[in-house]
Amino acid sequence: MLDLRQYNSLGDALRAALERWPNETCLIEADRERENLRLTYRQFKEIAQALARALQDSGLASGIRAAILMTNQSKWLISAYAIFFCGGVLVPIDYKLTAAEQIKLLQHSSAEFLIVEYHLWRAITQAEGFSELRTRIVLVTEAPQNAELSGAKRWEDFRDSREPVFVPRERKDPACIVYSSGTGGRPKGCVLTHENYLEQCVALTSLYPFWPGVRYLSILPTNHAIDFMVGFIGPFTCGATVVHLRTLRPEFIREAFTKYQITYMALVPMVLKNLEKGLRQRFAELPKGKRTVLNVLIGVNKALTRRRPNVKLSRALLPQVHKAFGGQLRALFVGGAFTEPATLQFFYDLGIQVGNGYGCTEAGTAITLNDFKPFRADTVGKPLPGMEVKIVNPDSEGIGEVAIRSKTLMSHYLDDPEMTAETIVNGWLVPGDLGRVDSAGHLQLFGRKKNMIVTEEGKNIYPEDIETYFEGLPVREFCVFAANYLWPARTMVGEQLVLVVHPEPGQPVTAEVVASIAERNRRLLNYKRISGYLAWDRDFPITASMKIKRVELAEQIRRGLERSALVAL
């Protein structure tokens, strides 16, 4: 791999990689069983530089912000490299947000350029707030021939064959503005520097190396911090290959493993659990005799890999299982949310390593990762090289708030010094998680201290952001909380959002109110929905500026009501 200490910026390092491995395949894009595209590093460079030159001619220069809004595909990476080449700051936007939410983030980031897939652009042009969008240049990919582009240009035609000028950036300059969530009142735009990413890449590849010939299967969108690192920067700076699959359907993921002989893949817990379910189902369908033999072999593998993994041995003992994953798989990376230990153990017993860790956007990608020395399903591993983890105010069991210090910590939240000061205290990031570091140096997580939830798909949901959807509810006042924040629970799974409603004095929560709650809830994306409501009969404590004192209200609810008072929707 490249020695990343020698480079000042992502653009610098990626440019060196394109020169270093011109004939290696860097990108393959597949859509179901069809292969759309295959590029060597040299071909990638030619396409990206033609785009970079056209972007430069349109004014993309040092420090100017350019957003990418796309599903999982090759043009994401080509566009990102072109932006870095021009010295631009990349703003990855989550394609799963609603168009109105995407517009809000584009506005908040002050992005002047937007590179977007046609169907997503079409939704934006029809959404509320479109007329206020201030992006200067919009490039649309894959637009049908006679499509109405609403002022945008076609990505495929936006190129210039003249040599672009590489714009250097310093390590401390911003590379990306990544929204960790917060599309409501207070967007959380994490400003991550080139140093943050270069240091993160060094730390991750020290545990999971890439090299020419390694094939990474990308099913997560690249706006996801994990895919950005292990599906772009990591493999590219090592001469490896990224295979984009433009669908999450299990049947095509299975096919891609064997067709492309995949080495690594990153996924979120929900997809991992789905893989587990599929395998368990296939095992259950085996004739009794074969199932018994399989169970014996799994037991043997388990015993022989108790101290450390042995991929060769596991492949020999369980050839059918490993063949189903292409026969070359070295590890799956899971992240974005908490993964249940039983799922991790299931895969480990089959000889499939799942790199499980702990991280957050504010700290780059990963903070801790399982090093398999030996495998433990009950922890999120040890701090990566260069990361310091400490527990603040531990109780008698050693459980307290997790704090992190490293060169991968974001610079700040965009335009929000107050929130930055709350999140990074004296150089230590406090993401709001409760944990303990055991005698072996492993971090164990026990729940959240913050009023937030993380879904199985890896989405951070801040209750405050959900409240805008309930505005106009026929009640005196309302507030959204994470259930585990109201009633602390030492668990990382099954998190829920609850709506606290205070009806007009003397009124109950009427059927009309409940119907109105349900109707508004339906407008939310399914993973953002509240699961129930709580009737509260006292005025909410408020500040002088009429804002709800959430901490105080939560304390009152905690004292006054049990979790059983929750009415499911």
Partner 1 sequence: MAKYEQMKTLQDTTNEVLDLAATHFKVPREQLTADDDFFKKLGINSLQALDLLTRIEQHFRIELPDYELQGVSDFRTLAARIQSRL
Residues forming the site for partner 1 (CB under 8 A): 71, 95-96, 98, 119-120, 246-251, 270-271, 274, 456-457, 522, 525-527
Q: Which two tokens stand for residue 14?
A: 């990626």
**Identity of the residue, 245 or 369, whose beta carbon is nearer to partner 1 in the bound complex:** 245
**Identity of the residue, 123 or 367, whose beta carbon is nearer to partner 1 in the bound complex:** 123
Q: Map tokens 């310091």 to a residue.
A: 388
Q: How far is the CB of 519 from partner 1 (least distance, A)?
A: 11
Find the DSSP H helices in 305-416: 311-317, 319-324, 341-349
**Identity of the residue, 165 or 525, whose beta carbon is nearer to partner 1 in the bound complex:** 525
Q: How far is the CB of 349 from partner 1 (least distance, A)?
A: 23
Question: In terms of Cα–Cα distance, which of 273, 282, 283 is closest to 344?
Answer: 273
113 vs 110: CA distance, rounded Å: 9
Q: How far is the CB of 117 from partner 1 (least distance, A)?
A: 8
Q: How far is the CB of 66 from partner 1 (least distance, A)?
A: 22
Q: Which residues contact 511 (CB under 8 A, 6 or more apart)?
A: none
Q: How far is the CB of 526 from partner 1 (least distance, A)?
A: 4
**Identity of the residue, 277 or 291, whose beta carbon is nearer to partner 1 in the bound complex:** 277
**Identity of the residue, 72 or 180, whose beta carbon is nearer to partner 1 in the bound complex:** 72
Give the burial class of 31: count Cβ atoms within 10 A of its Cβ; 0-12 exposed, 13-18 middle, 19 or more buried: middle
Task: Provide the residue type at 306 as one letter.
Answer: R
130 vs 455: CA distance, rounded Å: 29
Local structure of residue 459 (DSSP, 8 states)? -
Q: Which two tokens stand for residue 380?
A: 């999120």
**Identity of the residue, 249 or 280, whose beta carbon is nearer to partner 1 in the bound complex:** 249
Q: How far is the CB of 236 from partner 1 (least distance, A)?
A: 25
**Identity of the residue, 70 or 350, whose beta carbon is nearer to partner 1 in the bound complex:** 70
Q: Which residues contact 288 (CB under 8 A, 6 or more apart)?
A: none
Q: How far is the CB of 340 from partner 1 (least distance, A)?
A: 14
Q: How far is the CB of 99 from partner 1 (least distance, A)?
A: 8
Please state, in angstroms and as integers, the Cα–Cα distance from residue 401 to each residue in 391, 422, 429, 503, following that order.
5, 14, 10, 36
In this structure, the strands spanning 477-482 and 497-502 are: antiparallel
Q: Following DSSP, what letter does each residue of 240-283 receive, concatenated? A: -EEEEES---HHHHHHHHHHHT-SEEEE-HHHHHHHHHHHHHHH
Q: How far is the CB of 257 from partner 1 (least distance, A)?
A: 17
Q: H-helix or E-strand containing 555?
A: helix 550-560
**Identity of the residue, 227 or 456, whose beta carbon is nearer to partner 1 in the bound complex:** 456
413 vs 288: CA distance, rounded Å: 57
271 vs 176: CA distance, rounded Å: 27
99 with 120: CB under 8 angstroms? yes
**Identity of the residue, 270 or 548, whose beta carbon is nearer to partner 1 in the bound complex:** 270
Q: How far is the CB of 32 from partner 1 (least distance, A)?
A: 8
Q: Which two tokens stand for residue 306?
A: 């108790």
**Identity of the residue, 96 or 450, whose beta carbon is nearer to partner 1 in the bound complex:** 96
Query: What backbone phi and psi angles, to 5 degrees, belong to 39?
Result: -130, 140
Q: Which two tokens stand for residue 314?
A: 């596991």
